[in-house]
Amino acid sequence: MADREQCEAALRGLADRLDALGKAGRPPSAPNRTLMCRLPDLGTSYVAELRDGSLLDIAEGARSAQITFTLSSDDLIAVTSGRLAVASAWATGRLKVDASLRDLLRVRSLL
């Protein structure tokens, strides 16, 4: 099981990759939304703001979010490192996404 520091580092790494895409002139097309990543095995959640294709203000804690991802800490590390495909994780139930259909369709480029 990954620890909180590893999970936060994985989320910050994802934020860095999104920023690099923006700096390269290829920012992801995504709506501005509040995201939450729930990690039940650690008993914690991380929230962040997705704004203009960047993942900002990553912080531990829970609050209302427009899009919620639920997965284990190990799966978070695997997804963010590219060892586990998001589609595969979702199809096998290892990743759960709680979002409106509209939001899900709009953020699919990030998934």
pLDDT tens column, 45-99: 999 999 888 899 999 998 899 999 999 999 999 999 999 998 899 999 999 999 9
Query: In this structure, which topology does domain 4-107 adopt according to CATH?
Result: Nonspecific Lipid-transfer Protein; Chain A (3.30.1050)
Residue 20 has pLDDT above 70, yes or no: yes
pLDDT at 30: 73
Q: In the structure, what pLDDT confidence band is assigned to residue 3 with cuts at 50, 70 and 90?
A: very high
Which burial class, exposed, middle or buried, applies to 1 when counting CB atoms under 10 A from its CB (0-12, 13-18, 19+)? exposed
- Which tokens sit at 7? 């999970």
pLDDT at 53: 81
- Residue whose pair of structure tokens reads 């995504």 in the numeric block: 30
CA distance readout (Å), 39 to 26, 71, 72, 78, 110: 30, 6, 5, 13, 19
- Residue whose pair of structure tokens reads 């709506």 in the numeric block: 31
